[in-house]
């Protein structure tokens, strides 16, 4: 009896899935944009339980220092070549994308015999467009695809087709003639190409409509890899445009099949459940695929091309504890593995700024401001739940108002909230503040909270609303005028219930492509030497 699995299967910011199957395991590679290390690869043996096993685009494979918001790694393509016994990973590094008509990108290929092992040095391929992909044909040839970008065209017309060119793996370069194989449909904005071969046909999957509510996945086929391609009878294999489907933005898909011949399609969606916005970002869902008259379709009675809120697997599989780095209370361990595969930093690695004291305690050397594109000291995790609680104890003594340690809740540099500890220069005591960035407008809210001991900062989020609170080690604090107060019911609420939906693609200007993150942050505007200690960091979903 088939068992239903709820979508999305990768919650929180996990867009642009590239899915393959190999030797009993499924792998999904997703975009990471400005978050470091680049490309997140999940592995599953049952399509229910997924684990991050690699983030292969490390500092020796990319330079993201100062890339813009939602720049960096776009739309990776993961593939495997049986004859070579090699994984191939293709990715872009966007160093500009929103200013003017240009998309400055560099496309690279890296390889590895083990997806979790050592990956090769990057091979630069081209810069003619983003969303690169690699297809391994059954005659041994390889073909490289990417968006054909024409900066001369106005208002979205820059998307002028899909380039295809043969790739010589020995010479590590493109060879032969370059072909524009597909111009897309009237939906426009054709991107994200993947090619598959079945029963003598080449099937071209592309995304169209832009990665918003008009998003769609277009399928076309041809007997020749360079076309001409005929469109799918439904034109779009999946889309949720102009429907009330709770899984909006459906598109940007890839397919694979297992040893039993079951076909699955991974695609992104966005759940607009917070003021019609998606702070969880674009997530990954899976659909069952059936073949009819030589064409793939989303399975399900009268389904058409709507994404389903579930997919089916042959037998029941129980879901295990989601986060292996967390204990039952939600405390996340600090370890080399968790820093590599669970936390992420912003644009650059922070290895030289981090010291693990023990599994519960981390020391972080202060870096640049929350607006910096180059040198922030932050370790962050994805928001994966509409309701969650996060907290951390801060054991630090700021010597200046330029020393800041806190709990950072962010979408990008222009939209974020920082709940932090610093020093009041007049009293010499520690104090609390909230810093807010609202589409680039910065505001600073000092709080009437003064203390000397350790403090735990907490954030509770319930869909639209976020609430900061704190608790001191001895349960008391003072006001600016010296009045002693007791923390109410363990934690004392501060500031106001704030708008979580600001941390979303829809709110950002220009529109972004990531999602909300929460984690620890330290800054030293004096000399980049001050160190903050964080204990018992918690992220716990409450859905």
Active site (catalytic) residues: 16, 191
User: CA 287 to CA 497: how far, in whole Å?
Assistant: 37
Which uninterrupted H or E stretch holds 193?
Answer: strand 191-198
Sort strands 403-412 and 387-395 into parallel, antiparallel or unpaired: unpaired
3-class secondary structure for 5-33? EECCCECCCCCCCEEEEECCEEEEEECCE
> What is the Cα–Cα distance from 110 to 91, expressed in whole angstroms?
9
Residue 529 zone, left/alpha/beta (φ > 0; ψ -120 to 50; rest): alpha
352 phi and psi angles, rounded to 5 deg: -75, -5
Pick the closest to residue 408 from 250, 532, 301 (CA basis): 532
What's the CA gap between 333 and 538, in Å, rounded?
A: 9
Q: 35-36 and 345-346 as β-strands: parallel, antiparallel, unpaired?
A: antiparallel
Residue 420 parent element (H or E): strand 415-423
Cα–Cα dist 152/205, whole Å:
26
Give the separation between CA 224 and CA 139, rounded to whole angstroms.
13
Distance CA 185, CA 113 (A): 38
As separate numbers, helices (DSSP H) first and strands (DSSP E) second, the chain gives: 1, 39
**Sheet containing 123-126, strands listed edge to edge, beginning at the edge strand earlier in sequence:** 72-81, 86-96, 104-112, 123-126
Q: What angle do CA 218, 249, 29 make, to 5 degrees?
A: 75
Q: Which residue has the tokens 């600073």?
A: 444
Peptide bond into 98 cis (omega under 30): no
**In the numeric block, which tokens belong to residue 29?**
């590679």
CA 486/CA 489 separation, integer angstroms: 9
- Alpha-carbon distance 307 to 290, whole Å? 14
CA–CA distance, 134 with 197 (Å, rounded to integer): 13
């Amino acid at each position: 009896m088939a068992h239903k699995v709820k979508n999305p299967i990768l919650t929180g910011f996990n867009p642009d899935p590239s899915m393959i199957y190999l030797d009993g395991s499924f792998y999904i590679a997703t975009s990471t944009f400005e978050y470091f290390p680049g490309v997140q690869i999940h592995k599953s043996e049952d399509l229910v339980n997924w684990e991050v096993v690699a983030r292969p685009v490390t500092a020796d494979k990319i330079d993201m220092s100062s890339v813009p918001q939602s720049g960096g790694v776009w739309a990776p393509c993961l593939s495997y070549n049986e004859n070579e016994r090699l994984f191939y990973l293709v990715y872009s590094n966007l160093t500009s994308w929103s200013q003017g008509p240009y998309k400055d990108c560099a496309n690279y290929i890296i390889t590895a015999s083990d997806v979790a092992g050592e990956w090769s040095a990057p091979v630069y391929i081209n810069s003619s467009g983003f969303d690169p992909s690699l297809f391994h044909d059954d005659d041994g040839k390889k073909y490289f695809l990417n968006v054909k970008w024409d900066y001369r065209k106005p208002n979205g017309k820059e998307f002028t087709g899909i380039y295809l060119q043969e790739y010589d793996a020995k010479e590590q370069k493109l060879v032969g003639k370059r072909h524009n194989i597909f111009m897309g449909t009237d939906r426009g904005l054709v991107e994200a190409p993947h090619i598959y071969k079945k029963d003598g046909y080449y099937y071209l999957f592309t995304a169209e409509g832009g990665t918003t509510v008009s998003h769609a996945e277009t399928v076309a086929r041809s007997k020749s890899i360079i076309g001409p391609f005929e469109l799918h009878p439904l034109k779009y294999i999946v889309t949720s445009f102009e429907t009330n489907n709770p899984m909006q933005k459906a598109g940007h898909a890839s397919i694979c099949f297992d040893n039993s011949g079951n076909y699955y399609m991974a695609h992104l969606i966005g759940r607009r459940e917070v003021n019609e916005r998606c702070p969880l970002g674009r997530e990954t869902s899976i659909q069952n695929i059936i073949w009819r008259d030589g064409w793939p379709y989303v399975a399900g009675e009268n389904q058409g091309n709507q994404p389903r809120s579930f997919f089916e697997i042959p037998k029941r599989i129980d879901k295990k504890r989601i986060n292996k780095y967390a204990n039952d209370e939600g405390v996340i361990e600090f370890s080399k593995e968790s820093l590599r595969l669970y936390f992420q930093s912003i644009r650059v690695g922070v290895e030289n700024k981090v010291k693990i004291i023990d599994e519960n305690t981390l020391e972080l050397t202060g870096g640049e401001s929350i607006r910096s594109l180059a040198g922030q000291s932050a370790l962050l995790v994805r928001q994966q739940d509409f309701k969650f609680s996060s907290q951390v104890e801060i054991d630090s003594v700021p010597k200046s108002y330029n020393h800041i340690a806190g709990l950072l809740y962010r979408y990008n540099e222009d939209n974020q909230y920082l709940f932090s500890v610093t020093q009041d220069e007049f009293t010499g005591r520690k104090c609390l503040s909230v810093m807010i960035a609202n589409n680039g407008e910065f505001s600073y809210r000092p709080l009437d909270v003064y203390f000397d001991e350790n403090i735990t900062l907490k954030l509770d989020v319930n869909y639209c609303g976020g609430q900061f609170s704190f608790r001191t080690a001895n349960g008391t604090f003072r006001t600016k005028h010296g009045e002693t107060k007791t923390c109410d019911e363990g934690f004392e609420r501060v500031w106001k219930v704030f708008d979580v939906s600001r941390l979303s693609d829809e709110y950002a200007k220009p529109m972004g492509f990531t999602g909300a993150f929460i984690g620890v942050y330290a800054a030293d505007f004096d000399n980049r030497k001050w160190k903050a200690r964080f204990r018992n960091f918690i992220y716990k979903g409450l859905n």
